[in-house]
Amino acid sequence: MAPSTFEIVHQTTYRFARPVTLHPHRLMLRPRDSHDLRVLDFQLTCAPAADLVWSQDVSGNLCAVASFPEAAQTLVIESRLTVASQARAWPVFPISPAAQTYPFAYGEDEATDLGALRWPAPDPEVARWAHGFVAGPQTDTLSLLKDLNAGILGAAAYRVRDEEGVQSAGETLRLASGSCRDLAALFIEAARQLGFGARAVSGYLFDPDQMDRQADTTHAWAEVYLPGAGWITFDPTHNRIGAAGLIPLAVGRANGQIMPVVGSFAGSAHDAPAMEISVRITPVG
């Protein structure tokens, strides 16, 4: 299968009321290479110019800490990325026979390594809702997760939400609406209530049929670990399974850990910046 190649330009702009001192900013804007994603080119620039120090966090994400030696009234962070994706639109997942029927037990090593990615929050409402998707004592595992993924939009409508942070799963159920990161968080929490290892993913979406939900923004979705298949992608915002059209930047226990740009400044509340985010994704070839 020939890979799909994308060029992505992601620009974040902050405009302050007056020049301020910029604290170090953490940038998660470069994907890791994987079996179905290859980074062909990457450029990261800041204005004013910044000193960049690279590292990998506890989840193996590539992180840059940008330090700014001078005050600024405007901060522009821009990444230019070219990637080739070989993710299939209709993947077949080689789930181990022992895990094909729910409930199943993770192996001792897998359970230990998944750790907090399996720990649900103490929310009886979300637990009841999640267990409502279990068809019987012996349920096909992938069908259960597909039903849960499809059920998110039945419980909570997608809406654009400009406020910072992520709603709790219970809050999203009660409000019956949420952004892509809220819907992903609800799916992750429900999967953990059922005993699955699940994690959050931030990145980009390219889907010509969903332009109303992807323009000028980043995207959030989820992954569930199943023995044999590994991490399987679930995008509850679009009721899709598999990584086709998705370009991951970072993975973590919760969305708040993997925001593409995080930083602060020294100043008063009157100096708080106006922020603009622009994402342009162009297929190549």
**Which CATH number applies to 97-244?**
3.10.620.30
- What size, in residues, is the chain? 285
Identify which of 27, 44, 40, 89 has the alpha carbon closest to the alpha carbon of residue 258.
27
- Domain segments of the chain: what residues? 4-86+259-284, 97-244
**Phi, psi values for residue 167, rounded to 5°:** -65, 150
Least Cα distance to 38 among 75, 81, 69 occurs for 81
End-to-end CA distance of the chain: 14
d(CA 69, CA 50): 7
Q: What 3-state class would DSSP assign to 132?
A: coil
Which value, to the nearest 10 degrees, does the dihedral of the CA atoms of residues 218, 15, 258, 5 take?
40
Strands 265-266 and 246-252: unpaired
Whole-structure pTM value: 0.94
What whole-number distance in Å separates Cα of residue 39 and Cα of residue 249? 11
- For residue 78, what are the contacts with CB-CB under 8 A and spacing of at least 6? 9, 10, 11, 12, 44, 45, 46
Non-local (6+) Cβ contacts of 14 within 8 A are 74, 75, 76, 273, 274, 275
Contact 246, 219 (CB under 8 A): yes
pLDDT of residue 151: 98
Contact 185, 105 (CB under 8 A): no
Q: How far apart are CA 216 and CA 201, in angstroms?
A: 18
Contact 266, 3 (CB under 8 A): no
Tokens of 216: 């000028």
What's the count of helices (H) and strands (E) in the chain, helices before strands? Answer: 5, 18
pLDDT tens sequence for the chain (285 residues): 678 999 999 999 999 999 999 999 999 999 999 999 999 999 999 999 999 999 999 999 999 999 999 999 999 999 999 999 999 988 999 999 999 999 999 999 999 999 999 999 999 999 999 999 999 999 999 999 999 999 999 999 999 877 778 899 999 999 999 999 999 999 999 999 999 999 999 999 987 665 444 455 799 999 999 999 999 999 999 999 999 999 999 999 999 999 999 999 998 878 888 999 999 999 997
What phi and psi, each to the nearest 5 degrees, are found at residue 41? -160, 145
Q: Which residue has the tokens 């930047």?
A: 249
Per-residue DSSP letter, 278: E
CB under 8 Å, gap of 24 or more: what pairs does 160-166 form? 165/256, 166/254, 166/255, 166/256
CATH architecture for the domain at 4-86+259-284: Sandwich (2.60)
- What does the pLDDT read at residue 67? 98
Query: What's the token pair of residue 128?
Result: 């009841």
Query: Residue 178 burial (CB < 10 Å; 0-12/13-18/19+)?
Result: buried
